Every structure is written in structure tokens, then in C-alpha cells.
Homo-oligomer: A and B are copies of this chain.
Amino acid sequence: MENFEFYSPTCFVFGKDTENQAGKYVKRFGGSKVLIHYGGGSAERSGLLGRVRSSLDAFGIAYVELGGVKPNPRSGLVYEGIDLCRKEGVDFILAVGGGSVIDSSKAIAAGAIYDGDFWDFYQGKWIEEALPIGTILTIAAAGSEGSGDSVVTKEDGMFKRDAHGDVIRPKFSILNPALTQTLPPYQTAAGITDIMAHLYERYLTNTDEVEVTDRLIEGLLLTMIHEGPRVIEDPDNYQARANIMWAGTMAHNNSCGVGRTQDWNSHTIEHELSALYDCAHGAGLAVTMPAVFTYELSHNVMRFAQAAVRIWGCQMDFANPEVTARAGIEAFRNFLISIGMPKNFEELGAREEDIPKLVDILCNGDGRKGTISGFVTLDEEECTKIYKMMV
């Protein structure tokens, strides 16, 4: 295990009706003038925004609002949010929505008190200062409610990039599983896939002797395998939603990823797909992961065999561990298909002829130098092969 610092100072408020405590927690963490940031009209129609406003009113907290965050959040709205915060003297950002809304909120929180262009943070500058953020989560997927990360797409060039800093970890995150019950099955499944990806990206490590984090990751994946199909079959199953929601938070606050190198090649490769085709990130990951894992398999057969045995219940082939390793990847692929995720480019809405363009942006865009790095380092030729495996 490697040395690490782990700091997750977010107060998680979990359960039924917890959104009605928004005002109490904004006050507890020092907000007096809030930007309510959200996505489309469903937050309004469902009455969620109304309940949040009432809760803020009850605690005498003023607010302005900015809706319109789209999946794969864009830089344009971030600039708008930054201007609004400065003009209105906002001192707290309240994200009401899923990962895209939270990530957009984090960008605004960092940009609002930064003299330069907020995009600097998405080109590698560590975020040292930001307005405090609270979240009311409506989709179990991105894990952004408990992370110090944010992903935003720059419209000029469609670069999808990430930024990091402990200061953008939310002060509080309100997690009411019931709010996720109205999600369409496809979005629910994409969320499940994203959570499982966050776990696999941490599982694929080059660090030895990490039994404790291996076991935590396996436990969370086993939870997803148990609860995922239940919630697809019965979207109103509160308990299954609840288990998935806490697993999603634990999957990405990094308590199970500390002290070990991580992969993230699947995310990096997928980001170009959702940036170009605007597909659901989870759906892109469902197509990407089996290809990436199969390509990376030879790098450490025993790690994939361990996943197969411990997570997917495969029998170990002691004479030929690669058979077991492949069986585990196949089981994962079949699981993703079973919950309604796409299995190839065609089902995702991606095009084979775009592969050269995808690879070029992936490996050379926005400052990269011909490769991406994770569990293994991949060059343009290898990334081309991986995209072709997805066709």
C-alpha cells in the first residue's frame, strides 16, 4: 500500500424527505446567499425545487437560481453562473440534480472567486479555493456528491476534462433515494454502470498488497450486482435504490481507492464518446469497459481472475487462469446488457468512421502527447484497436 491522505469532510444526510432539511444544512455550513443550480424542468415539475425553496425560506436564506445544466455539462453555463455569483454576491452553491449539475456547480464555485479563466483548473491546475457547495442528489451515478472532482466539457473543441481539489468536496450532500425512483430505466442503468466503473477503475491497480481496498471494492460491486437488477425490474423499490445510492457515494469518495494506483483508462476513452455523441456517460462506459478490460487483461491476468472469482462467482481455472479472467469480463458484459445498456458502437449511436478523430482528440487533444495512462499506458494505435473492439 502506498502513503496517502484521505479527507472526506462531507456531511451526508441520507434518507426519505431529507431534501426538506436543505435550509438547515445551508445555514449550518455558513451560507446566506445561495445559487440554486439545476438542470431541466423535471426538478420544478416534481415539486423538488419548491420544497428546496421552502426550506431555504424557512431559514431566512436568500437565493438566486440558474437552471439549464445539460448532461455532460458545458463551459458556457459555467461562465454564466460565475457572472451571476459575482453580480449577486452569492456565498454558497446548492446543486439540485445529478453529477452534471454538481460538476457544473463545482466549476462555478471555483471560478467565482478565481481571477483567471476557470478552465485553467480543467487543464491541470489544482483547485485551492472555492465557494462552499451543498448538493441534493437526484441520480445515483457520478459520485460527485462525495468527491473532490468535476468534469466539464469546453464547447470550443468539445474537450471533456476533469479538475480536482479537496475544497470542491461538498460541505453537505442530501441523498434521498426516493428522488431517484422517477428516473427512466435507461438512466438508472447508466447510473449503475457508472458506479460500477468507478469501482473497476480503482480495482485495476499496479499496487501490490491492497487487500483492504480490494475487499471494499468487491463488496460494493457485489452490492450493485444484487441491487441493480432489482431496481431495473421495480423502479419504485426504495430499498434497492437506497443501497445503490450509498454504494455510489462510497464508490467515489475514494475511501476504497486510497493507497493504490488506479486505472481510469475506460473513463478517459469514454469521455470522447459522450463528448462527441452526447450519449449517457454510463452507456458509453458499458461499451468501453469490456473492450478496455479485454485489451488490458494480459497486463495482469491474476487481477482479472480475482475479480472473476470474488465478484462474479466464477470457478477458478487453476490450470489456465486466463480462462477465468475472461469469464469475469464476459459476466460483467452480460450483466450490463441485462440491465439494458448498449453493447457496441451501433447501439450507442457511435460511428466506426469517427475512430481516427476520436483517437486524435483522445491522445493529442488539449495538451496530451500521444498516449493516455492508467493501468497500462496506451498509444494511438492501441486506442484505435480498443475503439475497433467496440464496433
Contacts and interface: CB of A to CB of B under 8 A. Distances in A.
Interface string A320-345: 00000000000000000000000000
A13 B15 CA distance: 31
B9 A5 contact: no
Contacts of A243: 1, 209-212
Nearest to A13: B5
Contacts of A4: 12, 14-15
Nearest to A6: B12
Contacts of A10: 7
Contact of A219 (B2, B9, B209, B216): B216
A215 B226 CA distance: 11
Contact of A250 (B7, B15, B223, B255): B255
Contacts of A215: 219-220, 222-223
A10 B3 CA distance: 17
A244 B209 CA distance: 11
B209 A216 contact: no
A9 B19 CA distance: 21
Given A7-B11, A239-B209, A216 B250 contact: yes
A258 interface: yes
A238 to B, nearest CB: 9
B7 A12 contact: yes
A298 interface: no
A212 B336 CA distance: 19
A14 B5 contact: yes
B14 A259 contact: yes
Contacts of A239: 1, 208-209
A344 to B, nearest CB: 31
Contacts of A250: 212, 216, 255
Interface in A215-271: 215-216, 218-220, 222-223, 226-227, 239-240, 242-244, 246-247, 250, 255, 258-259
Contact of A11 (B5, B13, B209, B222): B5
A46 interface: no
A177 to B, nearest CB: 8
Given A2-B15, A15-B4, A216-B216, A255 B258 contact: no
A16 interface: yes
A18 interface: yes
A364 to B, nearest CB: 36
Interface of A: 1-16, 18, 208-213, 215-216, 218-220, 222-223, 226-227, 239-240, 242-244, 246-247, 250, 255, 258-259
